[in-house]
Structure 1
Amino acid sequence: MSTGFFWDERCFWHGGGNYAGMLPVGGLVQPVASGGLPESPESKRRLKNLMDVTGLSGDLALRGGAEAAHEDLLRVHPASYLDAFKAASDAGGGEMGRRTPFGPGGYEIAALSAGLSVAALEAVLRGELRNAYALSRPPGHHCLPDYPNGFCLMANLAIAIEAARAKGLAERVVVLDWDVHHGNGTEAIFYEDPDVLTISIHQERNYPMDTGEFADRGRGKGTGANLNVPLPPGVGHRGYLAALERIILPQIRAFQPDVIVIACGFDAAAIDPLGRMLATAETFRMMTQQVMTLADEICGGRLMMAHEGGYSEAYVPFCGHHVLQEMSGSAITAPDPFGDVFPLRQPGAAFDRFVEQWLAEMAEAL
């Protein structure tokens, strides 16, 4: 079985609506980037372009997807929110939440972004693909059921998970979110659900400022099925791998899911303008490798990723290429152009000891 890559050109056409300048955006007029917003189509488009240029695309099963069905959206978002979003989209766009501007047709593009995740997860669970990556845009992990947030207009992964569970394709799911920002939307949606283990590893108090605490472990029947791993700025490559090995992978193994789903943001990378974590393309490759090894052990290798954040147009493509090369087992590489620079900026021994103590306290508390 091969690795699926789910994408659609229309997702690159999502824009900031009234942030996009004076051009008549909409219809066949593409947005001008995103009107200065960090969430630009370029980092995602350049990932696909890099894959085409290196030839990695030829080693993947390239697929598309339809807009998520209305009944799938309703499992996560109330009709009142969807109706208001659709009306605003049809009227030319606007902004309904925090940092979530959209233009005309924004509703349909958001539903398509969610639909790519729905299709990717279903293909993996039905055994059509070994694993899959959805280049979903706009992203989803900050979106609450009735409140868009942080560039996220629909909760892509939550919609995909609930659609799969409604079809009887899975019962227990792990969501591992390694975006640099806390996955507050995904957490909120599944906070009382004992069958979805939500894990977020993120820069402490980056965004949102008031969520993502280690003490937040779920509620009611879902108590213990949420885990936040907030890390101090600058932990770098070694810190991320240590957190994965010492805290996260044991929790996933103990949960015994039917599938592992990853909210794959690349904004923990070293030159990202919205993060300060100093991870590298190799960090993301090795994290992917470790999760794949665990997935082979506990859930038949079933793994699906959906693209979240990552705002460096120069570096996100290389981080994504490293991940997809690992997922597919392809021999086609895209050497990290910053590989000789970032290792020199990794934290020193004193900071390593500080991070070690930080992780030890969390591991002991579990």
Structure 2
Amino acid sequence: MTTGFFWDERCFWHSGGNYALTLPVGELVQPLASGGLPESPETKRRLKNLMDVTGLSKDLDLQSADPASKEELLRVHPRAFLDEFKDMSDQGGGDLGLRTPFGQGGFELAALSAGLATAAVRAVLSGEVDNAYALSRPPGHHCLPDWPNGFCLLANIAIAIEAAFAENRCRKVAVIDWDVHHGNGTEAIFYDRDDVLTISLHQEYNYPLDTGDKQDRGTGDGLGHNINIPLPPGCGHVAYLDAMNRIVLPALDTYQPDLIVVACGYDAGIFDPLARMLATADTFRQMTRQVKQAAEKLCGGKLVLVHEGGYSEAYVPFCGHATIEELSGSDKHAPDPMAATVAKRQPNARFDAFIAEQITEMAAYFATSPEKG
């Protein structure tokens, strides 16, 4: 098995712009900054460093990619938005939406991030690699066509999917978003279509505060092709695997996609500062195993994971390493140094049973056909 790993040093250079005192140092080295966003480069850089130290990187097909082209971006984003983003980027940066600051060159870095996701999807669908991981930064799942938000400047996954459709590489795609925040951007882009099934597992009403309800199931041709699984704060390993088994995997079986894409955020991790969930490195390993087995069963193993959120510099590297170990089948292991601690902090049996009842109710709800109107 060959797993492609798509990354680029320059993606670590995306800065918070006006959220940080960014010092100009030219275009050949990472900018210097004082302070900045929770969405820092260090979670991703430390993941890549850990992979290098354990030798996992050597078991992967490491590649970079070209930035997404203007044609590829225009399939998702209006020209006026892209022109405004580019102009502001050229003039030193700014903020186009809610919590989306960027520095000079931010447009090019966002296009590169989208390009990594697009190249990963293209490589899997062409058979160049069996599956792939895109270490995309800045992330993308909150970005709407004309309004970025939540650290997301371009809709990376949607751009990659539209490129695959335009190149006639596939006809149906399923997107599973296990980032702790609702994947509102991906949902909005495909909400009235049946060629993309969007599924989001998220902490209920974390971010955004007004999206992610289970009743939001799509409109028009997309009715029934959007599934939101809002989980209450405090859910951990058992709840996530139960939701995958009881809701996500059956939905995939019904939909029969040609490709599965995971919006792979690690902010459901127990130490994340922007969430209140209790997932562990092993949670992400086992969810990856579940979706990998589903891909092997349904679409010849065609599976792409695209990096989204995750803000614990100490824990994201181990969650990511466990995920990529499982994706690639590598024997290069990075033991979770917090395993004993996180095991003690999992929900008790009574809470797990309470959540299991809610998941049972949601599974029954999604098994029914949604009503129009």
The structural deviation recorded for 1:31 is 2.8
The structural deviation recorded for 1:363 is 1.1
- Tell me how far apart the structure 2 counterparts of residues 256 and 34 of structure 1 sit (CA, whole Å): 48
Q: SS of the counterpart of 1:260?
A: strand
Q: Which residue of 1 aligns with 2:369?
A: none
Q: Which residue of 1 aligns with 2:151?
A: 151
Q: Which residue of 2 aligns with 1:341?
A: 341
Q: Which residue of 2 aligns with 1:4?
A: 4
Q: Which residue of 2 aligns with 1:309?
A: 309
Q: Does the Cα contact within 8 Å between 1:138 and 1:151 map onto a contact in 2?
A: yes
- Tell me how far apart the structure 2 counterparts of residues 34 and 337 of structure 1 sit (CA, whole Å): 29
The structural deviation recorded for 1:19 is 2.0
Identity fraction in percent: 66
Q: SS of the counterpart of 2:136?
A: coil
Structure 2 length normalisation: TM-score? 0.97
Residue identity in the other structure for 2:178: W
- Tell me how far apart the structure 2 counterparts of residues 176 and 22 of structure 1 sit (CA, whole Å): 35
- Tell me how far apart the structure 1 counterparts of residues 21 and 14 of structure 2 sit (CA, whole Å): 14
- Tell me how far apart the structure 2 counterparts of residues 100 and 34 of structure 1 sit (CA, whole Å): 17
The structural deviation recorded for 1:23 is 2.0
Q: Please list, as runs of the form range in 1=range in 2, the aligned pairs for 1:78-227 lying within 5 A after superposition.
A: 78-227=78-227
Residue identity in the other structure for 1:51: M
Residue identity in the other structure for 2:46: R
- Tell me how far apart the structure 1 counterparts of residues 29 and 70 of structure 2 sit (CA, whole Å): 27
Q: Does the Cα contact within 8 Å between 2:22 and 2:31 map onto a contact in 1?
A: no
Q: Does the Cα contact within 8 Å between 2:267 and 2:275 map onto a contact in 1?
A: yes
Q: Which residue of 2 aligns with 1:14?
A: 14
Render the CA deviation track for 1:51-83: whole Å, top value 9, x for unaligned: 001100000000010000110000000000000
- Tell me how far apart the structure 1 counterparts of residues 95 and 25 of structure 2 sit (CA, whole Å): 15
Residue identity in the other structure for 2:67: E
The structural deviation recorded for 1:26 is 5.3
Q: 1:205 to 1:50 in 2, by over 3 A?
A: same
Unmatched segments (≥5 aa) in structure 1: none
Q: Does the Cα contact within 8 Å between 2:68 and 2:115 map onto a contact in 1?
A: yes
Render the CA deviation track for 1:106-126: whole Å, top value 9, x for unaligned: 000000000000000000000
Q: Does the Cα contact within 8 Å between 1:285 and 1:322 map onto a contact in 2?
A: yes
Q: 1:232 to 1:157 in 2, by over 3 A?
A: same
- Tell me how far apart the structure 2 counterparts of residues 59 and 280 of structure 1 sit (CA, whole Å): 24
- Tell me how far apart the structure 1 counterparts of residues 275 and 34 of structure 2 sit (CA, whole Å): 19
- RMSD of aligned Cα (Å): 1.0
Q: 1:76 to 1:239 in 2, by over 3 A?
A: same
Which deviates more from structure 2 when the two are superposed, residues 91-100 or residues 342-351? 342-351
Q: Does the Cα contact within 8 Å between 2:322 and 2:334 map onto a contact in 1?
A: yes
- Tell me how far apart the structure 1 counterparts of residues 196 and 132 of structure 2 sit (CA, whole Å): 19
- Tell me how far apart the structure 2 counterparts of residues 31 and 151 of structure 1 sit (CA, whole Å): 18
Render the CA deviation track for 1:109-167: whole Å, top value 9, x for unaligned: 00000000000000000011110000000000000000010000000000000000000
The structural deviation recorded for 1:357 is 1.1
Q: Does the Cα contact within 8 Å between 1:34 and 1:41 map onto a contact in 2?
A: no
Q: 1:251 to 1:34 in 2, by over 3 A?
A: farther
The structural deviation recorded for 1:264 is 0.1
Residue identity in the other structure for 2:111: A
The structural deviation recorded for 1:22 is 5.4
- Tell me how far apart the structure 2 counterparts of residues 160 and 204 of structure 1 sit (CA, whole Å): 27
Structure 1 length normalisation: TM-score? 0.98
- Tell me how far apart the structure 1 counterparts of residues 133 and 120 of structure 2 sit (CA, whole Å): 7
- Tell me how far apart the structure 1 counterparts of residues 219 and 174 of structure 2 sit (CA, whole Å): 17
Residue identity in the other structure for 1:36: G
The structural deviation recorded for 1:235 is 1.1
The structural deviation recorded for 1:211 is 0.1
Give the number of aligned pairs: 366
Q: Which residue of 1 aligns with 2:45?
A: 45
Render the CA deviation track for 1:270-300: whole Å, top value 9, x for unaligned: 0000111100000000000011111111100
Q: Which residue of 2 aligns with 1:71?
A: 71
Q: Which residue of 1 aligns with 2:370?
A: none
Q: Does the Cα contact within 8 Å between 1:20 and 1:32 map onto a contact in 2?
A: no
The structural deviation recorded for 1:29 is 5.1
- Tell me how far apart the structure 2 counterparts of residues 38 and 32 of structure 1 sit (CA, whole Å): 16
